[in-house]
Structure 1
């Protein structure tokens, strides 16, 4: 099982048999889990979404630890209240008035894939080239729409009648915008690799 606790404002991607989330705030969890996610303690404003990434050895690693790609209970979180009865600062009304807070589903329009760069393509071995967990229809449709939009943008840029200097200028602007976005969001992504999770699976 994987246990995640005391996280704040991060995005976490996990493939596991079981997951327990405790005392987290404003986090998004992209899950591929075979059992109901367990949420305990003082959680606030959490979101869950289907698993959203892959890498060449993913299915091999999942098979080694017994994770089934055909079963994903990402949206069936079970919330249990295990709050500190002396925590009057967080809950001045008293623990008896506090209900365990579960997680909401991410809006499909906000769903995106997390792409893992394959910098060692020549050395990597594995057959996984797509997400092994099937996406629910709404999320698959959103993904398809995003891919089409990206294709349209690429086509517009390729067909634009621009001089070479203007093309270079456009390319430079796009790179700057991407870097700004990347540096602004990189801290919020926590990708849990097989090696880091293996002792707990």
Structure 2
């Protein structure tokens, strides 16, 4: 399967090779035996792969991270396509090729045969799980509560902290709901929360995702 896209999130599971070409500002979630990345910019790859990710061509600001999603049938699907979740080489990109010497943006004048840029590991603090809603799920089916691809210890530690933070947020929301406020105070509180959230969107860069959703 080959992907060409801009500014979005994509997920897939393939039994052989995922090929991602000429993508910009996308998040790819892939479980596969192999993945090939070529000529991409500012992308994040959440990978569950049994072989080293192959990086080809002229790439810029690529990041890789462990596989980050789950759903009830995931383990069965992995078994069907022959992907072993106990082996994940997401953090071992293998780079082939050199950058285009005629590309003045990425290739300084007078320099030749510069090795293609590799991918860096995503900061564990920025790692998040991708939730797949069960729109038509069987209520009697036992859900998959954990990622079948083991998380590295560093990423697992930050995930635990986020779970604690989520619990604290729920406590705050409960406290706000229980406050006895008149309508004017409720509006003031809503305005303040909205302003803080908007500031966070811009500071974190997540405002881009909102623009993408509006574009859709």
Instruction: State how far apart, in whole Å, the 2-side matches of 1:125 and 1:146 are.
Output: 27
Gaps of 5+ in 2: 1-16
TM-score, length basis structure 2: 0.73
Deviations 1:91-137 (A, max 9, x none): 35367242211011111111111111112123796753321100000
Cross-structure match for 2:13: none
2:209 is equivalent to residue 185 of structure 1: yes
Of residues 112-121 and 2-11 in structure 1, the stretch that sits farther from structure 2 once superposed is 112-121
Instruction: State how far apart, in whole Å, the 1-side matches of 2:190 and 2:85 are.
Output: 39
Cross-structure match for 1:162: 179
1:148 to 144, 160, 164: 164
- Secondary structure at the residue paired with 1:96? coil
- In the TM superposition, what is the alpha-carbon distance from 1:175 to its structure 2 partner? 8.8
Cross-structure match for 1:30: 46
- Secondary structure at the residue paired with 2:25? coil
- In the TM superposition, what is the alpha-carbon distance from 1:24 to its structure 2 partner? 0.3
Cross-structure match for 2:25: 9
- In the TM superposition, what is the alpha-carbon distance from 1:156 to its structure 2 partner? 2.6
Instruction: State how far apart, in whole Å, the 1-side matches of 2:151 and 2:42 are.
Output: 23
Check the 8 A contact 1:83/1:95 in 2, yes or no: no
Structure showing greater relative contact order (alpha-carbon pairs closer than 8 Å, 6 or more residues apart): 1
Instruction: State how far apart, in whole Å, the 2-side matches of 1:92 and 1:159 are.
Output: 57
Count of residue pairs the alignment pairs up: 187
Cross-structure match for 1:42: 58
5 Å-filtered alignment, 1:27-176, equals: 27-84=43-100, 87=103, 90-93=106-109, 96-122=112-138, 127-160=143-176, 161-163=178-180
RMSD: 3.2
TM-score, length basis structure 1: 0.78
Gaps of 5+ in 1: 189-201
- In the TM superposition, what is the alpha-carbon distance from 1:60 to its structure 2 partner? 1.2
